A and B are shown apart, each in its own frame.
Chain A
Amino acid sequence: MNCEEAKKHFQELTDDEMSPELEKEIRKHLRRCVDCQEELIQLKKVIVLLNDLDIFDPPPDIIVNVNKAIDPDVSLLQRLFNFFGGAKLTYKAFAVAIVAIIIIYMNGKTPPSVDDLKNDMVTKHQEIADKKYAPQRNESVVKEVPPEVTGKAEPVVDIATESPLAGADAAGQYASQLFDDMSDKVLVGADEEGATTKGSLEPSEFFEKENAEKVGALETAGTRKDEDGEAKGSEYQKGLVVDKLDATVGGDFVGGGNVAEMSGEAGAKADLQQTKPKKLKHKAVKKAKKPKPLKDSYAKDVKDEDETAEDARADQVVKEESAKKDTMQGSEPLEERHGRVDEKKLKEPPQVAAASLPKYEPAKKKVKKQLTWSDDDLALDEELELDDDDLLLEDDSDNYAFGMQPVEAPAKEESPQLSEVPLDPESNIEPTLLEPETSADSVSKARLGRKQKASGEKRKRRTTMEKSDVASSTAPEEFGLAEVDGDVSGARANVAKQKTPEFFQNIQTARAENENYIQLNVDNMGKAIKRLTKNIQLYSATIIRKKSTPKNTNIVLLLPTKNYKKFMKQVRKNIKWAVVKSARIDIKLSKKLDKRVEKIIHRKKERFLLVEIDMTM
């Protein structure tokens, strides 16, 4: 049996699955052949090594995680719980109960009587008219209204003759009917004096103007014919259906614009888009509970109404108005109060009047809820652009060592690092490694918070560096890895004994070879990256900002492997001082960035090198 044949059976021999005859032959060969003996021994040792490999305890949370993943009941319950607001469920229930109580209370509450309403409003308008607008009463209705006045003008809706829905109907329903009625009746223009009819309700409570000029036109528009009102009525009513809904949900009352159109004789197209739906609803509810019977005009379509009946009704309204005004201002007729008033206008019931009584106060704009930006948003927000690739500004708060060990691992934190003291090119001070800290120090520091640790260590390092003789430290003149790894002495040698060789392989130091170096800081990152990657295809550049030292940042670049040498040259040429890490294990990437890098690598189908320039100073 020769060596080749014998080696073929080594496996059977080691597994004790060989026939006795064959084993005899192989043993015979082994006695003669030292090489085969050696090889067989090695093979057995390999098997022993494999058998002796440690058995690790599994992480304690495997079963918990699996249970969470596969348990449909728990997840369903959880989903249900979350759907109903989780822990806030009780609060929501409480809120619902409160709302229900309020509704019940509102429904049961007796509405104020119509007389009370009337008296209140009459008194109010009378006072205003007497005090503020008395000197202008004799001016023309159609006179041009000054801009400051027009800005305050408000159409007036008369409710004295309104016959609202009986009972506690919804506010939106009443709003719809109210405007139906407005379309039925004549819109009476009023001057800025605010000489409105008694018991009128201020439409400013329904509408708010956003355009003073349009409102002015509305005010000066005067009156409107019945026909116009009827013509616009149906489409206006349609608008109100939507408006009603908007009012219910607190939205803008868009349909108000139609009112302006209707009241504008000269085709004024005021776009009154703002209303106060809450007030409208409140007033409407009050009116809805008035004991008056429902008028036909509320129930019928405007188009179907009889013109004669309408005229008669208008006459009746005019009479009622006159009576009210008599009550309010003695026997002074409307014509006298307003001076020149068209007869036709007077015949029209003063359903809506463009008056300027109350001050116009725009509705408070809704304050936008302050959005809370997530970290992701922040990162995206601060994304920079560099050539055709992205610069992602990242926080290193959630960084972790790439695929290997978490960033919070004490070993990583406590490991000796190159000096972070910026070096003056003239002083020949080289970056150096610090003495490793004692285990007691490590334990105590591990207990500190991460921020405290980072800042504390940084301060300590700096202090140490300032006190120590940094000139005696030993960084290589050239910055190839071989040099970094080979030239070990002094404090660094001590570290070398305790650390595996990989520690040094991952780091290179670089400093500028010319005077026009870049002193890197947060302000010139873009410039620095451009200079470092000049004529180099750059696939990703990420600026990692450290929370502990906000002014210090690192750059992580994804380069084609073929450009690595060139890149290092440019680093040496342009950067005053930096540590370049190029092994993935040393480059901490957030999960997001990790995914991003992987995506680029996947897309480009090229060999890449991930490099981090550590400029911590």
Chain B
Amino acid sequence: MNIETITAIFCLLGIETMKTDRSGSGGGMALDELELVKRSKNKDRKAFNELMLAYQRRIFNIMYRFTGDYEEAKDLTQDVFIKVFKSLDSLKEDKKFKSWIIAIAANTFRNRYKYNMSRGKGRTDSIDSQIETQNGSIKVELKDNKPGADDVVHSSRIKELVQQKINLLKDEHKEVIVLRDIDGLSYEEVSTVLEISIGTVKSRIFRAREELRKQLVEVIEYF
């Protein structure tokens, strides 16, 4: 058993203890978010773990919808929490913690996207895509995105298709669609998080929805 394993076990035990505390002792009063944020600012690890517990699902799902990749989403979620912990002091209004953490998530995703592009990940081909050659493009039979009867029956397949289409959106459209229609933020909140005007948010959402509608027309017919 190495040191990492031991550390992990201790951390897990710590979390378990916190869960017990929250539900049981001292009348079982859960610390509210503001209090948690304040305590986290003072480097209270227990409070910060509580905050992470409260937000990890949300952040992870946002990241998953942004990236479409489970492992990538996990990495980004961890990055977000690390950044949050390190920069909690810069949070001026504790009330805006939710917007603040989601903004960090969005920025983390943007930075990662830029990093990936700079590393050339956007320039590789797969047989899934049309291949340009000297003699013209290779006629590869692309995956038929039209859902078959079986697919339509299975809603999970539809959801996969929706996610695929989200992945094809422009990043700016993806961000607003995820935050607004999946995560459920208001226009104002999206505006705050992304630091763009509400008008811009609305127009982007309009375009994004329109794009998705076109992409998913055949799916929608069966829905």
Contact = CB atoms under 8 A, between A and B. Distances in A.
Interface of A: 10-11, 39, 42-43, 45-47, 49-59, 61-71, 74, 78, 81-82, 86, 403-404, 480-482, 485-486, 501-502, 505-506, 561-565, 582-585, 598, 601-602, 605-610
B82 interface: yes
B120 A601 contact: yes
Given A67-B49, A70-B82, A502 B128 contact: yes
Interface in B102-154: 118-121, 123-128, 131-135, 138-144
Contact of A598 (B119, B126, B216): B119
Given A55-B61, A59-B74, A42 B126 contact: no
Given A62-B60, A66-B82, A608 B125 contact: yes
Range of interface residues on B (Cβ < 8 Å)? 35 or more
B49 A63 contact: yes
A64 B143 contact: no
A389 to B, nearest CB: 17
B62 to A, nearest CB: 10
A601 B134 CA distance: 19
Contacts of B65: 53
B196 interface: no
Nearest to B219: A49
B91 interface: no
Interface string B61-81: 100110001110010011001
A86 B158 CA distance: 52
Interface stretch (B24-32, B93-101, B204-212): B204-212
B128 A505 contact: yes
A56 B64 contact: yes
Given A51-B182, A67-B11, A610 B134 contact: no
A605 B119 CA distance: 10
A524 to B, nearest CB: 27
B121 A598 contact: yes
A505 B141 contact: yes
B181 interface: yes
B152 to A, nearest CB: 13
B218 to A, nearest CB: 11
A561 B144 contact: no
A561 B119 contact: no
Contact of A564 (B7, B133, B158): B133
Nearest to A597: B124
A52 B184 CA distance: 11
B86 interface: yes
Contacts of B8: 61, 64, 68
Given A66-B81, A482-B139, A562 B133 contact: yes
B131 A56 contact: no
A564 B142 CA distance: 16
Contact of A53 (B128, B132, B134, B163): B163
Given A502-B128, A565-B135, A45 B223 contact: yes
Given A49-B223, A69-B82, A601-B120, 15 more contacts: A11-B206, A39-B213, A47-B181, A53-B162, A57-B57, A58-B60, A70-B82, A74-B7, A480-B139, A486-B141, A505-B142, A561-B133, A585-B126, A605-B123, A606-B123
A117 to B, nearest CB: 53
Closest 4 CB pairs of A and B: A58-B60, A602-B120, A50-B181, A601-B120
Contacts of A505: 127-128, 140-143
B92 to A, nearest CB: 21
A12 to B, nearest CB: 9
Contacts of B85: 66, 70
A47 B127 CA distance: 32
28 contacts: A10-B206, A11-B206, A45-B220, A53-B159, A53-B162, A56-B57, A58-B56, A62-B56, A62-B60, A63-B15, A64-B12, A64-B15, A66-B81, A68-B8, A69-B82, A81-B3, A403-B71, A482-B140, A505-B127, A505-B140, A505-B141, A561-B131, A564-B131, A565-B133, A565-B135, A601-B124, A607-B124, A609-B131
A601 B124 CA distance: 8
A501 B142 CA distance: 9
A62 B11 contact: no
B177 interface: yes
A166 to B, nearest CB: 51
Given A11-B209, A49-B162, A608 B123 contact: yes
Contacts of B202: 11
B120 to A, nearest CB: 4
Contact of B212 (A46, A63, A482): A46
Contacts of B14: 67
A554 to B, nearest CB: 17
B141 A62 contact: no
B39 interface: no
B168 interface: no
B53 interface: yes
Contacts of A501: 143-144
B209 A47 contact: yes
A245 B137 CA distance: 74
Nearest to A500: B143
B217 interface: yes
Contacts of B216: 46, 49
A561 B132 contact: yes
B173 to A, nearest CB: 12
Contacts of B209: 11, 43, 46-47
A377 B32 CA distance: 53
Contacts of B127: 481, 505-506, 582-583, 609
